Structure 1
């Protein structure tokens, strides 16, 4: 079991402890560390006897910048501390009331491409035979991005193609429809990009950290939990600012100063997204658990303990 995964197993099994940890791990200043510093931090937490209370910085650096399944240094743009700085403008742009379909497709393409790549980088690849990305996986990711891009632009497409002029219908398309749509597309994006894990399975470990085999049941649980956490993130990010904007539009102050609505909406999206990222990442532990009775029978006999652990991904 990798040192990062072991750290999550020992200290991250409650929601509040994970939330507290993720608040520190999402610090953008961690992006300034070099690969050598990250590898050194990772090796340090792999030697508990050398670790003391003053090494919290090393723990945070390792957990935020190296893969919990392989220990490899994560690409800079896809490390958790980079998620808000990069996805924030993309989410704000995707939720704008666009004037045309092309603009909506453009912002959806950027957002869905980044989310697909982020999910792929943080996948569990323990059962993959090929180290390089296969053509099948590339085609699957391209199809996922294409579908979610078009589906994400559906509200603007309906307005343009159906020539909707009613303010009530426009409000529904721009403010209400994006809420379930954002959650559903976020779930679909993760589920399809990481679908291979449900087919090939992922490595599971017993309570002592020893490999117990490859389980498809654990792979399905890992993908489902990650997709659900991403749906909560984007569904909430779309819901709170949009519903708040609908409420503020009815206030006399904003009716007199309508130009203030746009910046308030953008700031609201950024604040909710920033608040929900650590919550979403904390919903399920990166060191996922599954009851031994739920995995394949051939794995049950050789595993010690009632609970098996696996790298859930992010």
Structure 2
């Protein structure tokens, strides 16, 4: 088992522990570390034998693990491209969320949501579970093909309410409230979960590796892959659904109370609310499920059940 997964298994057993860890891992300053420094840190962790089996008390060791968690893929042991590391997700997705949440013409909404889903889907692809197997043709080609289809579909669905409203001239106050304030949140949440499920579909089609407590690979399980994808999709839906819904509701009351009277002031308040909700929801959504996922032996395929006597097995959930 990779050192990152052992760390998550030891230090991230509860939601609160995972939340505090993610708050540290998401530090944008970790993006400033060079590849050489990341390799040295990773080598130090591997050679020192400090792969944790109990909670770490040493701050220096913990900092080394935080750099490893933020920069290295636990399946491939490769350094993740800087734009797709966990600390880069908030700075890069925030402006895309702000622009996508603004109500434009349908074609502009399609374009902005296409860009938004392109980034989040690429992030999902790079940070997914890297142990899915495919014998038909290149797994990366298959996932990219699926991803492009999912991105296009999600962007179309995101722009559909505006197309519908303009086509049928449904511009009453109630319809504008529903289409512009209420619908975007569930649509974006569902489409975010949809793109995760599509781009990571090889994981539940071909299976992912499951390991025992000692890190020994017991087998490849489709059921574990399905659980990993489902958990990631739910966390992504919660993240962006809440980020769209809560600021829209709060802005409705701000507009009615006339706290901000000018369009510029309203825009500033809206940006502040979206930033606050996204920054708060990101570690919450990532902490909803363990990074080193657990699955009961009884829930796995018969061939895996017969290969081990352990009651619980582990897998990398991905982000």
The TM-score bracket by the shorter chain reads over 0.9
State how far apart, in whole Å, the 2-side matches of 1:191 and 1:129 are: 17
CA contact (8 A) 1:119 1:193 kept: yes
1:282 aligns with 2:283: no
Partner of 2:55: none
Identify the match of residue 292 of structure 1 among 287, 290, 297. 297
Partner of 2:113: 108
1:56 aligns with 2:58: no
Partner of 1:26: 26
Q: CA deviation at 1:155?
A: 2.6
Partner of 1:117: 122
CA contact (8 A) 2:90 2:279 kept: yes
State how far apart, in whole Å, the 2-side matches of 1:127 and 1:241 are: 38
Alignment CA distance shift 1:26-1:162 (3 Å): same
Identify the match of residue 75 of structure 2 among 62, 66, 69. 69
State how far apart, in whole Å, the 2-side matches of 1:252 and 1:283 are: 36
Q: CA deviation at 1:13?
A: 1.6
Identify the match of residue 169 of structure 2 among 163, 182, 193. 163
CA contact (8 A) 2:132 2:202 kept: no
Identify the match of residue 173 of structure 1 among 179, 189, 208. 179
SS in 2 for 1:46: helix
State how far apart, in whole Å, the 2-side matches of 1:209 and 1:253 are: 56
Partner of 2:3: 3
Using structure 2 for the length normalisation, give the TM-score. 0.93
Partner of 2:12: 12
Q: CA deviation at 1:115?
A: 0.9
Figure out how many residues of one structure are paired with residues of the other and give that number: 312
State how far apart, in whole Å, the 2-side matches of 1:133 and 1:307 are: 29
SS in 2 for 1:127: coil
How big is each residue's C-alpha offset from its partner over 1:187-245, in whole Å with a ceiling of 9 and x where there is no partner?
A: 10101110110010000001121111100110000000000000000111011100001
State how far apart, in whole Å, the 1-side matches of 2:286 and 2:48 are: 25
CA contact (8 A) 1:19 1:282 kept: yes
CA contact (8 A) 1:207 1:304 kept: no
CA contact (8 A) 2:143 2:200 kept: no
CA contact (8 A) 1:78 1:121 kept: yes
Cα RMSD of the aligned pairs, angstroms, is 1.7
CA contact (8 A) 1:69 1:124 kept: yes
Alignment CA distance shift 1:24-1:155 (3 Å): same
User: Pairwise mapping of residues 1-314 of structure 1 onto structure 2 (< 5 A)?
Assistant: 1-47=1-47, 49=49, 52-98=58-104, 100-129=105-134, 133-254=139-260, 256-314=261-319
Q: CA deviation at 1:48?
A: 5.1
Partner of 2:54: none
State how far apart, in whole Å, the 1-side matches of 2:133 and 2:304 are: 19
State how far apart, in whole Å, the 1-side matches of 2:185 and 2:285 are: 16
Q: CA deviation at 1:181?
A: 0.7
State how far apart, in whole Å, the 2-side matches of 1:48 and 1:174 are: 55
State how far apart, in whole Å, the 1-side matches of 2:201 and 2:117 are: 16
State how far apart, in whole Å, the 2-side matches of 1:42 and 1:129 are: 29
Q: CA deviation at 1:44?
A: 2.5
State how far apart, in whole Å, the 2-side matches of 1:263 and 1:164 are: 28
CA contact (8 A) 2:134 2:202 kept: no
Q: CA deviation at 1:129?
A: 4.5
Alignment CA distance shift 1:192-1:175 (3 Å): same
How big is each residue's C-alpha offset from its partner over 1:243-270, in whole Å with a ceiling of 9 and x where there is no partner?
A: 001111211434x445422221121111
